[in-house]
Structure formats: C-alpha cells, structure tokens
Structure 1
Amino acid sequence: MRREIEITNAKIVMTKDELGYSEVLDDFTIAEFIYIVTYNISANNPTLLNKLKEASNNTEIKVFTNIPSRFNDYYYEWASTKAKTQIDSYLIKLDPEQFNELFSSFFVFNNHAKIIMTNRMAYIGSSNYSSESANSIEAGVIIEDEQAILQIKDMINEEVQSQAESYYVFDILPLIFQARELEEIRTVLSENIWGIWDFHGIEQGQYYKGPNIYLDTKIITAFENLKEDIGSTLFELIQDISEEELSDRKEAIIKQLSNVKDVISGYEIGQEVIDFLEFDESGHINDLMEENTIFMTEDVLDEYVQGFTQQAYEIKHNLALDAHDGFIEFESFLTTVIQLFLESVEELRALTNHRVDNTR
C-alpha cells in the first residue's frame, strides 16, 4: 500500500522536552473532528487522554493505536502474561464510556505511524500520542492545509481503520448519530407544538399552539428519510451480529434490535398531521384572490383580503384541532424510539471486542 498527498502550508518541527504537536492539542476544544494514529499511548500519564475530554460533545474522535507487547503468538507464559496486562490497560484507558458519544477507539496491531490531527491542523512525525515522547528528540511536520487534512482523514479511514479491531464488537456510531437525528426531529416538533403559558413571568403550564404551529412537510421528509436509513443500519447490524459468536446473548440482542426495527418501520405519521402540514395558508389566500379578482375593486379590496385571511385561519385552526392527537402521538413515538435506541446502544457497549485479547 502506498498513498501520496500533495501538501502546502506546512512546517517542520523538531522538539526535545516538549511535544511537537502542542498546537494541535490546543485546537481540540473547537475541533470538528480529532483523529489520532499512534504506536502507543502513555503508560502512566493520563494528561493526553484527558485532553480528549475537553472536546465538544459534537466532536468526532477516533483513536488508533497498537498495543506494545501484544503479539500474534506467544511461546512463553511470561510473554502472554505481559501482553494480557498491557491489553487490559489499553482497554481500560480507551473505554469509550469515558469520553463523548462520538468517541471510537481502534487497535491496529501492525501500526507504527504517528498522526495527531483536527480538521484545521495535523501533526505527522515521530512522536506518539504519549507524554513520554517529550523526553526524546522528535521531528515532524505541522500541516495547516485543510484540503490535505481531509485527504489524510480519508486515508486513515480507508487504510488504517480497514485493518483495525474496534473496541466494541460492532460499530455503534451509526446508531448514536441516528438517535441524535431522531432527537433533533423530536425537539423541533416539541418546540413548535407546545407553548408555555405564564403569568407575570412565572410559568403556569403548557398549551397546544394549534393554528400557531409553524411546521411544514420538511419534518415529514426528514423523518421518512431517517426511517429508511435506520432500517438499513439495523438490518446490516443484525446481519453482522448473526455471524458473530456471542453465545446466549446473540439471540437476545438480535431480538431487541429487530423489535426497534419493526417499531420504526411500522410507524406512520397520522393523516391529520399530514393534512395540517400540507395546508398552505398563503397559497389558499392567493388562490381565493385569483378566483375573485373580478369582484375585488379598490373600494372593497381590504374587505375581501380580510375575509380570505380569516377563512384561511379558520381552516388552519380546524386542521390543527384535528391534528392534536396525531402530533402528541408522533412526539410520544419519537421519545419512545429514542429510548429504545439508547438501550440498544448500551447493550452493544457491553460487548468488548474479544479479538483484541488473544491471550485467553
């Protein structure tokens, strides 16, 4: 395998008694993504892993590391014992539960590359993602060519991740992303169908906004597209699980995911909700004006416009009343299915990749 990327806006750094990628670390708090490819991580110093915890909850983080002392085969018990200790240490340190939801850790047992990067800058050099690297003379390149960085990101995903073992047996990030998208739809829906009634600035309770709901069919399109994507994700995940050796847990997990898939694929937004969202108030008024142009002389124009506006409002009001239960049902469904998603994610998180530890 050989990949080449042309780069502009780069500088060479050589360091001793400090890390050559400190400016990349400083970028973590505002990064859209953080990718780390390293031979090892710090043995005892948690500082660099803690830096990852400063990233936003919306920052995608991927860590790819080898595990020193882990070999494909062990010919002596002491070597196997040493590898077991190291593997356990790495699994503890890189447990995704300690980081944000979009954190993934991977183990690449033939990796010796070192890349620390965000979407704005990248370090490629001799330093590992390890505080101990500050003790040595290290050299590397700092790149601030964002187009090249995106190519490096693609290269890592295609070449490094393809040879990696993930922390978990299965990739749960798609489920997490889709749960977030469901939550975004639920939030938009909830904010639009409910208002807060207050008295002198003190909240007294919720009320249904009725004709003052300002949603359109985009929310239906977003939900239907997401429903299709979720169906594909769950189908592929169920297929992957069915091919894995998980003893008695396999059937229970497949049943759980199949239930989520059936619940989502079987849900249809109520027709009353669709009718309300499809009603175009302005379009209705314009249609009435075109139909009655001959009668709308200047002296009665305002009266006609006011009448058409009132008529459109009354239609929308009645449609909103008809859609009341459907909106509440849709909101309740989204709340339920998001919870089912999160429960499935937690179940899958309990399945650490058994292929990482080959000393058993």
Structure 2
Amino acid sequence: MEMTLLRKEIEITNAKIVMTRDELGYSEVLEDFSTAEFIYIVTYNISGNNPTLLDKLKEASEDTEIKVFTNIPSRFNSYFADWASSKARTQINTYLTRLNPDQFNEFFSSYFVFNNHAKIIMTNNIAYIGSSNFSSESANSIEAGVIIKDEQAILQLKDMVNNEVESQAESYYAYDILPLIFHARELEEIRTFLSENIWGLWDMHGVEQGQYYKGVNIILDTKIIAAFKNLTVDIESTLSELIQEIESKEEDQLICSENVVIEQILDLKNTISSYEIDQEVVDFLEFDESSYINKEMHENAILMTEDVLDEYVHDFTQRAFEIKDELATEAHAGFIEFESFLTSAIELLSARIEDLRSLINYRIDNTR
C-alpha cells in the first residue's frame, strides 16, 4: 500500500513558546472552555484515573462543538499473547467509558486515531500545540509547546484537524448522529415558532387562565412553509445516506438491532416525506391583506373620487380583515395538525438518535 505523505504548514503571527513543569502548558486554553464556540482536543492519551480535564469540558455551553481525538495506548493492530490482548481490552473499555458522549453536551464527539501522536488543545480563540497530552499526568514532566492567538491560523488548524485527523479516525458511535441532532433542533425551532404564533395565553389579574387560538391575529407567512420543506429535504437526504451506510456493511457484520434501525429509519423517512401541510393553512398564509387592498383599490380606482376615498379604503380594509378571519377559522384544525406532526416527528427523530447511540463502533475494540 502506497504511503501518502502528510505535510501541512501554517504561518503564525501571534504566538509564544511555553515550557512547563508541575503545571499544564495549555492552562490558558482550559480557561477559555466555558465561553468557547468550539473545543478541539488531539492527544496521544487521556488520564487513566484523573477525570479533572475531561470534567473541564462539561463547563462548555450546550451549543459548543467539542471534538476529542485520542490514541489508545496498549491497543495494537494485532496481539501475540493473551496478556497483551487482555491489557488492550481493559484500556479500550476505560477509554470508551471515559469518552462516552452521553456524559457531555449533545455536540460532543469522540474519535480514536490509532496512529496519532500529535498534541493539540484549542478553542476558537486560543490554541496549544506541543508535547503535553490532554492528561493530568503531563504536568509532572518537562513539556514545551506554542500558545497561538492568531485567529486565522486557528481556523486553518481546525480545518487541518477536520480534514487530516478525522479522516484517519474511528468515531465513538458506529454512525454519525450529529446531523440528526441538528435536524431535531431545527424541527423544534419551527415547532416553537409555530406554536408561539398560533396560540395565546389569556389571564385574569396576571394569572394564566388558559390558551386560545389567535385566529386572525396569527402573524405568519409562507416563509414557515419554505423553511419546513427545505428542512424535510435535508432530513430525507440525511436518512437516505444513513440507510445506505448501514446497508453497505457486510451481512455478517450487521447485528440484529441494526436491521431494526434500518426499518425504523425508513419508516421515519417515509413519514416525513409524505406529510403535506393542510391546504387551508397554506391559503391563510398566502393571503396578504395589503395586496388584497391594493388590488381592490386598483380595480375600483375610477369610482374612488376624493369625497368617497376614505369610505372605500375602510370597506376594503374591513373586507380584508373578514377574509383573513374566515381563512384563520378554516385553518384552525390544519394548524393543530401541523403542530402535532412536528411534535411527533421530533419524538421519532429523537428516538432514532437514541437507537443509534446504542451502536458503538465495533472497530474500536479489536481484541474480540
């Protein structure tokens, strides 16, 4: 097999060299975790017993993208003795436990790169490249590295990690669930926006008494239809690619639960692709009062002399209100159905995400 040489260069302007002992050289990066937009960790190993550094990742916000890439010491391509295989299995299980994404935010991903020896700890604001691993034990050694605050260089470094390191990596889960998580969030945003606009709360003396249908006072237009249709196309594409990826595995590699997941994902795809927003909802959203009034004024311009102009405008405005009110009444059931569908689709998508979370990448543990 022909080896592909990897050599990448980034020019840096704002950087400093640090040499440390009895402390971690990337402590400035750790301090930035709580406000970071993204956190990338590339390391040869993680701490075996001390959870302090991984716990720092839990200080990040719920929306922070976190990626951890690590080798697993003691894991080799093959084993020539039972004790070596047993040691590797113990180490692999430790890493799978410590880097289980369920312990972190929903945008956390862990990867295993079995030929990695690089050490990079970075956020969107600051990066460390040096000899220290993302391991508390690195504080015990003399270590050296570079602290970078060059924004452009950091973005280039991020791209380099995504393109070069991730391409060599095995993900924690058997399949990438992040696109589905994003889709579920986007569906929830549409559902929330819809709900906030079709329902109001009435109260008495500041105490909530119940919910009412806003009817003619609903402020929505066809943008919500476009957003929904565009999102469903993206979801269908993601689900199709996922089904194709699962089905591409050798038959003897497929486990029973994966066959079930394929069927459930296909059902979800069909459910989403077959849904049509009620036409009465579409009619309501497409009706524009201003356009209606302008049209009526144009068609009746010859009759609208100065002495009756205000009366005509009042009549057209009143008629536009009445039409919209009628359309809102006719769309009532359709809006409820649309909201119910979005709720159901989010629940189904979330269930499929949980199914996929149960499928750990079988290639990580090569000791079986």
Q: When the two structures are superposed, what TM-score results if normalisation uses the length of structure 2?
A: 0.95
SS at match of 2:18: strand
Q: Does 1:261 align with 2:269?
A: yes
* Distance in 1 between residues matched to 2:47 and 2:40, nearest whole Å: 17
Alpha-carbon RMSD: 1.3
Of residues 294, 298, 317, the one that matches 1:286 is 294
**What's the counterpart of residue 43 of structure 1?**
48
Which amino acid is 1:341 matched to?
A: L
**What's the counterpart of residue 347 of structure 1?**
355
> Compared with structure 1, are the counterparts of its residues 299 and 148 closer, same or farther at alpha carbon in structure 2 (3 Å cutoff)?
farther
Which amino acid is 2:16 matched to?
A: K
Instruction: Give the fraction of aligned pairs with identical amino acids, expressed as a percent.
Output: 73
Which amino acid is 2:246 matched to?
A: I
Residue 127 of structure 1 deviates from its aligned partner by: 1.1
* Distance in 1 between residues matched to 2:149 and 2:275, nearest whole Å: 47
Of residues 51, 62, 65, the one that matches 1:60 is 65
**What's the counterpart of residue 199 of structure 1?**
204
Residue 133 of structure 1 deviates from its aligned partner by: 1.2
* Distance in 1 between residues matched to 2:111 and 2:205, nearest whole Å: 55
**What's the counterpart of residue 31 of structure 1?**
36
CA-to-aligned-CA distance 1:245-275 (integer Å, 9 cap, x gap): 2232222111110000000011111111111
CA-to-aligned-CA distance 1:184-232 (integer Å, 9 cap, x gap): 1111011111111111111111111111111111111111111111111
> Compared with structure 1, are the counterparts of its residues 11 and 291 closer, same or farther at alpha carbon in structure 2 (3 Å cutoff)?
farther
CA-to-aligned-CA distance 1:274-330 (integer Å, 9 cap, x gap): 111111122222222333344444444333332222111111111111111111111
Q: How does 1:266-277 map to 2 (within 5 A)?
A: 266-277=274-285
Q: Does 1:330 align with 2:335?
A: no
Which amino acid is 2:107 matched to?
A: L
* Distance in 2 between residues matched to 1:311 and 1:38, nearest whole Å: 69
* Distance in 1 between residues matched to 2:121 and 2:289, nearest whole Å: 53
Q: Does 1:158 align with 2:156?
A: no
* Distance in 1 between residues matched to 2:133 and 2:28, nearest whole Å: 15
* Distance in 2 between residues matched to 1:146 and 1:271, nearest whole Å: 50
Q: Does 1:81 align with 2:93?
A: no
* Distance in 2 between residues matched to 1:271 and 1:120, nearest whole Å: 49
Q: Does 1:125 align with 2:121?
A: no
Q: Does 1:213 align with 2:213?
A: no
**What's the counterpart of residue 140 of structure 1?**
145
**What's the counterpart of residue 105 of structure 1?**
110
Residue 341 of structure 1 deviates from its aligned partner by: 0.6
* Distance in 2 between residues matched to 1:264 and 1:38, nearest whole Å: 41
CA-to-aligned-CA distance 1:84-117 (integer Å, 9 cap, x gap): 1110000000001101111110000000111111
Which amino acid is 1:304 matched to?
A: Y
SS at match of 2:40: strand
Which amino acid is 1:167 matched to?
A: Y
* Distance in 2 between residues matched to 1:324 and 1:302, nearest whole Å: 33
Q: How does 1:300-339 map to 2 (within 5 A)?
A: 300-339=308-347
* Distance in 2 between residues matched to 1:144 and 1:192, nearest whole Å: 44
Q: Does 1:90 align with 2:95?
A: yes
Q: When the two structures are superposed, what TM-score results if normalisation uses the length of structure 1?
A: 0.97
* Distance in 2 between residues matched to 1:304 and 1:23, nearest whole Å: 70
Q: How does 1:183-194 map to 2 (within 5 A)?
A: 183-194=188-199
* Distance in 1 between residues matched to 2:255 and 2:237, nearest whole Å: 25
> Compared with structure 1, are the counterparts of its residues 153 and 297 closer, same or farther at alpha carbon in structure 2 (3 Å cutoff)?
same
CA-to-aligned-CA distance 1:125-176 (integer Å, 9 cap, x gap): 1111111111112121222222222221111111111110110111111111
**What's the counterpart of residue 174 of structure 2?**
169
SS at match of 2:210: strand
> Compared with structure 1, are the counterparts of its residues 311 and 128 closer, same or farther at alpha carbon in structure 2 (3 Å cutoff)?
same
SS at match of 1:251: helix
* Distance in 2 between residues matched to 1:318 and 1:277, nearest whole Å: 12
**What's the counterpart of residue 9 of structure 2?**
4
* Distance in 2 between residues matched to 1:200 and 1:166, nearest whole Å: 55
Give structure 2 stretches of 5+ with no counterpart.
1-5
SS at match of 1:104: strand
Number of residue pairs matched? 360
CA-to-aligned-CA distance 1:45-92 (integer Å, 9 cap, x gap): 111111111111111111000001111111122111111111000000
* More off after superposition, 70-79 vs 89-98: 70-79
